[in-house]
């Protein structure tokens, strides 16, 4: 492939069954997916690939020239997941095929269960990227890190001192309830950005573009499984791609955004708040209370579509204090048991057993004559009234 040609980097994940509960991917399922992708590489469908896991999620990293949302690439990922799920069923693994919500592939895995982050770009002479994969949390878990990476000068010094970034970045924010998105500019509109991405269960930073030339800098998967399936079938476990260096934040600035283990929704049964713990691959397994929520980071260079690496980005003593703080926060939150704020609020619990409990008790609730029924608040904003191109 000639240098400077458009390439596509695709990260597609799914929970296809795991060992000993919602714990870790079995190596035989990784091998099954690897076999499918290796054959696709041999035939020239993809340029390169890497298969790994984030907790109980199987992660497919692929480079190719088919563009974003290619039926060929999504069909390949679907085949890999189906083969891995078949092995999971043969081994009797837990929740085999959990994220594969339908039996037949229909041209695109979006809406079928797997999570997808893809970007197309012209490869730079040196093309470093960071790929983040989280387990036991939701796509909005990346909202705070994305803001810190691309809009917070206290995190990213390059926003102040690098002339290639000084103009700022455009945030594309997606409303998963309404299926709308809005593009907002940083730094001019950071208050508007923060006003909505602070509700990460609904508004998700989906893409980030460099304002100076519109070049894409980051992309995040936005699939919400409970909204797709209409019931709780597992947490969404998002993936993200961030380009680094040469007009984008340095790798160290990108990783710095994860040095604070902020609270995210997920953990046990997707119904609790807990700290997002950055861990190396060897700790990419969820144990305590099916958690705590954690994120792994792999660094690659891409050269003529080839994946050079990876580097295990959080495998460093520099993140030991972050992990230690996450452990302290996890202990504090766990002591709340079934009480909020450890347990999620009622709007996030509607896909769990809570509606069944309320239905069982509905005839035992007594009307209080003097009570005033509260009106459900609605979000009203001109930003949400139209979809911006």
What is d(CA 319, CA 311) in angstroms, rounded to the nearest whole number?
Answer: 15
Whats the size of the chain, residue-wise? 389
What is d(CA 70, CA 75) in angstroms, rounded to the nearest whole number?
Answer: 8
- Residue 318 class from Cβ within 10 Å (0-12 exposed, 13-18 middle, 19+ buried)? exposed
Dihedral sign, CA of 282, 12, 292, 274? positive
Asked if 220 and 139 count as a contact pair (C-beta separation under 8 A), the reply is yes
Among the listed residues 13, 66, 82, 235, the single catalytic one is 235
Identify the helix (H) or strand (E) that includes residue 203: strand 203-210
Among the listed residues 28, 94, 232, 303, the single catalytic one is 232
Q: Which residues of 84-120 are buried (b: 16+ CB within 10 A; e: fewer)?
A: bbbbbeeeebbbbbbbbeeeebeeebbebbbbbbbbb
Residue 15 known to be catalytic: yes
Residue 235 known to be catalytic: yes
Among the listed residues 13, 15, 147, 152, the single catalytic one is 15
Non-local (6+) Cβ contacts of 294 within 8 A are 54, 55, 134, 135, 136, 276, 277, 278, 279, 283, 284, 286
What residues are labeled active site? 15, 232, 235
């Amino acid at each position: 492939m000639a240098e400077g040609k458009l390439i596509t980097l695709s990260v597609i994940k799914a929970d296809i069954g795991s060992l000993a509960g919602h714990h870790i991917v079995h190596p035989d399922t990784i091998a099954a997916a690897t076999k499918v992708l290796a054959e696709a590489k041999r035939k020239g469908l993809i340029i390169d690939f890497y298969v790994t896991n984030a907790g109980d999620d199987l992660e497919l990293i692929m480079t190719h020239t088919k563009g974003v949302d290619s039926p060929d690439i999504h069909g390949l990922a679907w085949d890999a997941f189906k083969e891995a799920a078949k092995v999971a069923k043969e081994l009797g693994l837990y929740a085999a095929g959990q994220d594969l919500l339908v039996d037949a592939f229909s041209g695109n895995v979006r809406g079928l269960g797997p999570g997808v982050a893809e970007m197309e770009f012209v490869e730079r002479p040196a093309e470093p990227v960071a790929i983040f994969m989280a387990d036991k949390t939701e796509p909005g878990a990346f909202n705070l890190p994305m803001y810190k990476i691309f809009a917070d000068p206290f995190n990213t010094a390059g926003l102040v001192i690098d002339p290639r970034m000084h103009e700022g970045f455009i945030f594309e924010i997606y409303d998963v309830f309404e299926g709308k998105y809005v593009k907002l500019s940083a730094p001019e509109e950071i208050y508007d950005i923060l006003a909505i991405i602070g509700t990460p269960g609904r508004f998700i930073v989906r893409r980030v573009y460099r304002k100076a030339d519109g070049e894409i800098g980051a992309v995040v998967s936005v699939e919400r499984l409970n909204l797709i399936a209409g019931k709780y079938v597992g947490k969404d476990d998002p993936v993200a791609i961030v380009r680094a260096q040469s007009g984008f934040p340095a790798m160290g600035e990108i990783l710095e955004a994860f040095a604070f283990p902020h609270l995210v929704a997920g953990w046990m049964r997707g119904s609790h708040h807990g700290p997002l713990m950055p861990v190396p691959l060897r700790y990419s397994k969820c144990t305590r209370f099916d958690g705590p929520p954690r994120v792994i980071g792999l660094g690659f260079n891409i050269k003529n579509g080839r994946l050079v690496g990876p580097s295990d980005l959080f495998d460093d003593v520099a993140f030991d204090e972050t992990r230690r703080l996450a452990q302290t926060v996890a202990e504090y939150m766990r002591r709340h048991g079934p009480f909020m704020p450890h347990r999620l609020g009622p709007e996030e619990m509607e896909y769990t057993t809570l509606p069944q409990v309320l239905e069982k008790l509905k005839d035992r609730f007594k009307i209080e004559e003097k009570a005033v029924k509260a009106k459900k608040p609605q979000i009203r904003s001109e930003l949400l009234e139209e979809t911006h191109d």
